[in-house]
Structure 1
Amino acid sequence: MSSIVVQAFMTLDGVVQSAGGRDEDRDEGFPYGGWQNDYDDEVGTQLVREWESKTEALLLGRVTYEIFAGSWGVWDEDAPGLQGELTRRYNRIPKYVASRTLADADWKNTQFLGPDVPEAVRRLRAQPGGEIRIWGSTQLVRTLAEHDLVDEYRLLIYPLVLGTGKRLFAEGFPISRFALAESRVLPSGIVLCIYRRNDG
């Protein structure tokens, strides 16, 4: 059985929008793109490197998929450091995309989930394998939570309040029970929290 792991860079007020780049996601006129870049944390970089080494597939909503395809999908695989490592990995693993509007994709190893996303994800999760990683994709995460299909939330919480932007757990998010598996404070003040399903 595979596990569905939601991974996110998140502010104190739960914003996950456009953490990595100024123009990554300007939806609703979001003015704070690239907010994560003000924090330099080598420990956090090492954690992401370790986590992504376990990623066997990406599961993405349309907007996040297009952001990823326009970056990881075209960047140089021989780039130094984490950028090259993730570019190589993401190019080789399957990408599963939830979209009502996209019909084809140029990024290799991309598959569309079809009209019944929960059922498609249920089938993926039932297959042998490792971690199926979700980045961003807040609407997809909510849909999966409504069908009890999220196994783990892996959050890096930044000591920052933005007051606006897409939130991972927006108003009306379904009730979900998880157990805290790990927490620690990184040198920059970022707090790592890992929550796993609580089936007890």
Structure 2
Amino acid sequence: MASIVVQAFVTLDGVTQGPGGPEEDVAGDFPYGGWQFDYDDDGTVGEWEKNTEALLLGRRTYEIFAASWGVWSEDEEGFQGELTRRYNRIPKYVASRTLSEVGWKNSYLLGPDVPAAVDRLRAEPGGEIRVWGSTELVRTLAEHDQVDEYRLLVHPLILGTGKKLFGDGFPYSRMSLVESRSTPAGVLVNVYRRAGD
């Protein structure tokens, strides 16, 4: 059985919007794009990504990823090349109410019944299905008790504005903390699993 793992860069006030660059997600005139780059994650994300066997993304995150990982050269040195190669090869499942096709290789639309499609994915043999960004999708997954694990890199930063991973009205969820440590840059690495798992 595959597991759904939500991975996120988060600020102390819960913001997860636009960590990767100034133009990554400017919805709501968000002024702090790229906030995550001032912090080193000490290789944590690289280690986690070695276990990624598929991506599960909302439309906006899919489009951001397709326009970056989907077009960058696989010949790049280091982490960028490694992740580009991995992301190009693994399946990418996209939850969207507006897209009728997806162009990044090995990408598939989930269709109108996202929870049922995710149940089918989870029932298949496999490892970790990674969710990045995709706050609306994460909420839908949580409403249907489909998130197996949250991996949060909590940054010592307060932005005061932006999309939050766990916004108002997020479904009640009991979690168990299974790992917690800090990086030299002061980023807290917290891993939570559903309570009882």
- Match of residue 160 from structure 1: 157
1:170 paired residue among 163, 167, 170: 167
Query: Is contact 2:42-2:183 (8 Å) kept?
Result: no
Question: In the aligned structure 1, how far is the partner of 2:19 from the partner of 2:149?
Answer: 20
Question: In the aligned structure 2, how far is the partner of 1:45 from the partner of 1:147?
Answer: 33
- Match of residue 6 from structure 1: 6
1:94-119 alpha-carbon deviations (Å, 9 max, x no partner) = 00000011111210000000000001
2:177 is the counterpart of 1:180: yes
Q: Secondary structure at the match of 2:108?
A: strand
1:1-200 correspondence runs (5 A): 1-39=1-39, 41=40, 44-199=41-196
Question: In the aligned structure 2, how far is the partner of 1:97 from the partner of 1:157?
Answer: 26
Question: In the aligned structure 2, how far is the partner of 1:45 from the partner of 1:149?
Answer: 29
Q: Secondary structure at the match of 2:98?
A: coil
Question: In the aligned structure 1, how far is the partner of 2:178 from the partner of 2:56?
Answer: 23
TM-score (norm 1): 0.97
Instruction: Give the superposition deviation at 1:195.
Output: 0.1
Question: In the aligned structure 1, how far is the partner of 2:102 from the partner of 2:59?
Answer: 11
1:100-150 alpha-carbon deviations (Å, 9 max, x no partner) = 111112100000000000010011001110000000000000000000000
Q: Quick one: percent identity of the two aligned structures? A: 70
* Poorly superposed stretches of 4+, deviation over 3 Å: none
Q: Secondary structure at the match of 1:145?
A: helix
Question: In the aligned structure 1, how far is the partner of 2:178 from the partner of 2:38?
Answer: 28
Question: In the aligned structure 1, how far is the partner of 2:196 from the partner of 2:180?
Answer: 20
Instruction: Give the superposition deviation at 1:185.
Output: 1.0
1:78-104 alpha-carbon deviations (Å, 9 max, x no partner) = 111100000000000000000011111
The count of residues paired between Structure 1 and Structure 2 equals 197
Question: In the aligned structure 2, how far is the partner of 1:77 from the partner of 1:98?
Answer: 26
Question: In the aligned structure 2, how far is the partner of 1:45 from the partner of 1:68?
Answer: 22
1:66-85 alpha-carbon deviations (Å, 9 max, x no partner) = 00000000000011110000
Unaligned runs of 5+ in 1: none
Question: In the aligned structure 2, how far is the partner of 1:38 from the partner of 1:123?
Answer: 39
Question: In the aligned structure 2, how far is the partner of 1:47 from the partner of 1:126?
Answer: 28
Instruction: Give the superposition deviation at 1:45.
Output: 4.5
CA RMSD of aligned residues (A): 0.8
Instruction: Give the superposition deviation at 1:199.
Output: 2.8
Instruction: Give the superposition deviation at 1:197.
Output: 1.2
Question: In the aligned structure 2, how far is the partner of 1:188 from the partner of 1:137?
Answer: 26
